[in-house]
Structure 1
Amino acid sequence: MSSAPSSRDAGAGAITDVAGIEVGHFSDTRRPTGCTVILAREGAVAGVDVRGAAPGTRETDLLDDGNLVQQVHAVMLAGGSAWGLAAADGVVRFLEEQGVGMDVRYGRLPIVPAAVLFDLPAGDARIRPDAAAGFAACQAASSQPPAEGNVGAGSGALVGKLFGIDRAMKGGIGTASVKVGGITIGALIACNALGDVIDPDTARVVAGARTADGRSLLDTRRALLRGDLPRPLLAGTNTTLGVVATDARLTKVQANRLASVAHDGLARAINPVHTMSDGDTLFALATGQVTLDENTPGMTVLGALAAEVVARATLRAVQAARTLEATAPDGARLRFPAAADLG
């Protein structure tokens, strides 16, 4: 089950500050994995941008500007690599039971895009989110600020793996929001990056690859610049996922653009980002509570705010994380320190 919420920074905000958005986590206690659902029961205009080269996704093609479906009813983020996509089936079942979905004459069909991250190094990889996990995440969903850190899709997330999994640190899930000119925009990020996580305000490395003795941060960017060679990588073993949501009324074209520029926030907070071993994917949801006009921010400002909340939520994901101790498939004991606990 989901763990208790982590302490939150005053004024950090949450994606649930956006009217019409709910969030629920399921965290599997048998090993560190889980899933997170972002519900928009009344429907939300949606877009997506996949930047990483190793994605695992479901129902992203229907979000293309020229395709038929205009609204979605939830987004599912899950661990478990491609197996974890099964969690979306549980979300569909939950919403159908609630009478939520697109009217297709013969029933109401919930539209639930999904994306997964790779969190298999710790524990028994045969344990991963399934339809029951997705259903449970929906049952736990609310409009309250969601828990952060080692919960939901962030349960088994790690960061800083470029120089070997044994030098990685704990990733997690984080959220943030801002309100400007009557518009609210928020983000929820599950950070399982190959690279380091950077404080976007100070450019300081907060979590990532550690030195060979494991006691301090290596600083991957500087290590690469001086010629240090990374370990051989298994493709797709990372990935940062997220959702940007706003109460603004957007078209599908605008929602896709918002998802695109929101990736600037990942680039500010993760280095390197969008690699061949990451499946970095961001969704955008617009619940349509506020109409854009001359008295509200336009798309340029919304894009800037989207990047900002994504960067803040990514930082929160590692700030809220806690050290993970687990058993590898070969029986070895693993310890992945969190930013708050390193040293």
Structure 2
Amino acid sequence: MEKIRISRQAKIKNFRRLIMSGTIVDVPGVLVGHAQNEETLTGCSVIMLEKPSVCGVDVRGSAPGTRETDLLDPVNLVSVVHAICLSGGSAYGLDAATGVMQYLEEQGIGLDVGFGVVPIVPAAVLFDLAVGDYRVRPDRQMGYEAVQAASSETVAQGNVGAGTGASVGKLNGFGNAMKSGLGTASVILPNGLVVGAIVAVNAVGHVVDPQSGTIIAGPRDEQGTIRDSMEIMRQRAFAPIPPGTNTTIAVVASNARLSKAEANKVAQMAHDGLARTIRPIHTMYDGDTIFAVATGEVETSVDLVGALSADVLAEAVIQAVKHAEEAGGLPSYRSYFQE
């Protein structure tokens, strides 16, 4: 029995190592570009698609800031998108998607409507106004620069793009929060299926490594000790949190052949990755939103894609925290842990 137990543990470690080695651009046809203002601590990230691709969405948080999500309902007409924009800046940051549309239109990319093209660019935002200078938000120009920078090169992580001003652990007041960021991960199966994720982690709760059970970022007490958010909530001792001041936003992508309804199912299943790593998740103070893109090359099970999407998204959350650097007066994972 002992030999079997060790074998299973080894398989889990090997699987995680495979995920950790990749990024979302391992999915063929998926490009990523970032733009940020490192002084004011805000930015945006664009996931650009080399060809129009099926997309779904699932919004679980109660304070979302989104654009073009109704379009992704399977009952609605347009079934493909050309890019997705993830941005800081709260609702102001939705303006970044306009810059993405401008760039795509200049390239002749978009839905042909007979009078030019209309690029389809869904977007979601997170609240980072409490970090850096709240008067500076991602705008049309920043969105343009992000999509212009999109490539298949290795994706930068941490304090970049939509993760530039991200933070976690707000239940002891924002001054006792910790810096988070943007992370990505992927997995490649022998049959050619590739599943990847990219996420900007900006949760009200704490982040836990599901492999070890260790809280790696969260609310701190007066002594600087990282606390369990659920313990604080049970004690009813947490600081009031203004609505909409958090939100984790993500894209999961695969080269699977999926329908629009199946892509929505994948987005739904991918939220399990957030639930494994962020506690609590989907609160009244979060606007958690996940987009799911399928580029259509590999015939496979929607259940497999959904399950793997949850796996890689969980790993991307961990990478977002581990790559974050101290900023805006907030310590990061690296301030507490040495790997």
TM-score (norm 1): 0.91
Sequence identity, in percent?
53
Q: Distance in 1 between matches of 2:158 and 2:132?
A: 18
Unaligned segments of structure 2, at least 5 residues: 1-16
Kept in 2, the 8 Å contact 1:89–1:131? The answer is yes
Give 1:5-154 correspondences, 5 Å limit: 11-154=20-163
Letter of the structure 1 residue corresponding to residue 265 of structure 2: R
Q: Report the counterpart of residue 307 of structure 1 in structure 2.
A: 310
Kept in 2, the 8 Å contact 1:30–1:127? The answer is no
Which secondary structure does the structure 2 equivalent of 1:336 belong to? coil
Q: Distance in 2 between matches of 1:137 and 1:245?
A: 19
Which secondary structure does the structure 2 equivalent of 1:124 belong to? coil
Q: Does 1:262 align with 2:238?
A: no
Cα offsets for 1:39-64 (capped at 9, x unmatched): 01311100000000000000000000
- Tell me the CA shift for residue 224 of structure 1: 3.1
Letter of the structure 2 residue corresponding to residue 261 of structure 1: M
Q: Distance in 1 between matches of 2:126 and 2:172?
A: 19
Q: Report the counterpart of residue 169 of structure 1 in structure 2.
A: 178
Q: Report the counterpart of residue 222 of structure 2 in structure 1.
A: 212
Kept in 1, the 8 Å contact 2:247–2:288? The answer is yes
Q: Name segments (4+ residues, structure 1) moved above 2 Å.
A: 9-12, 221-225
Kept in 1, the 8 Å contact 2:171–2:232? The answer is no
Q: Distance in 2 between matches of 1:26 and 1:283?
A: 20
Cα offsets for 1:91-119 (capped at 9, x unmatched): 00001111111111111110000000000
Kept in 2, the 8 Å contact 1:48–1:284? The answer is yes
CA RMSD of aligned residues (A): 1.2
TM-score (norm 2): 0.92
Q: Does 1:233 align with 2:255?
A: no
What number of residue pairs does the alignment pair up? 319
Q: Report the counterpart of residue 336 of structure 1 in structure 2.
A: 330
Q: Which of 268, 280, 288 is equivalent to 1:280?
A: 288
Letter of the structure 1 residue corresponding to residue 334 of structure 2: A
Q: Distance in 2 between matches of 1:177 and 1:123?
A: 31
Structure number with higher helix proportion: 2
Q: Does 1:271 align with 2:265?
A: no
Which secondary structure does the structure 2 equivalent of 1:143 belong to? coil
Q: Does 1:318 align with 2:321?
A: yes
Q: Distance in 2 between matches of 1:15 and 1:189?
A: 10
Q: Distance in 2 between matches of 1:87 and 1:223?
A: 36
Q: Distance in 1 between matches of 2:195 and 2:164?
A: 25
Kept in 2, the 8 Å contact 1:19–1:289? The answer is no
Kept in 2, the 8 Å contact 1:57–1:116? The answer is yes
Q: Distance in 2 between matches of 1:29 and 1:151?
A: 8
Letter of the structure 2 residue corresponding to residue 211 of structure 1: D
Q: Report the counterpart of residue 189 of structure 1 in structure 2.
A: 199
Which secondary structure does the structure 2 equivalent of 1:39 belong to? strand
Cα offsets for 1:321-340 (capped at 9, x unmatched): 0101x3xxxxxxxx200101
- Tell me the CA shift for residue 228 of structure 1: 4.4
- Tell me the CA shift for residue 123 of structure 1: 2.7
Which secondary structure does the structure 2 equivalent of 1:41 belong to? strand
Letter of the structure 2 residue corresponding to residue 244 of structure 1: V
Q: Distance in 2 between matches of 1:221 and 1:319?
A: 22
Kept in 2, the 8 Å contact 1:41–1:100? The answer is no
Q: Report the counterpart of residue 331 of structure 1 in structure 2.
A: none
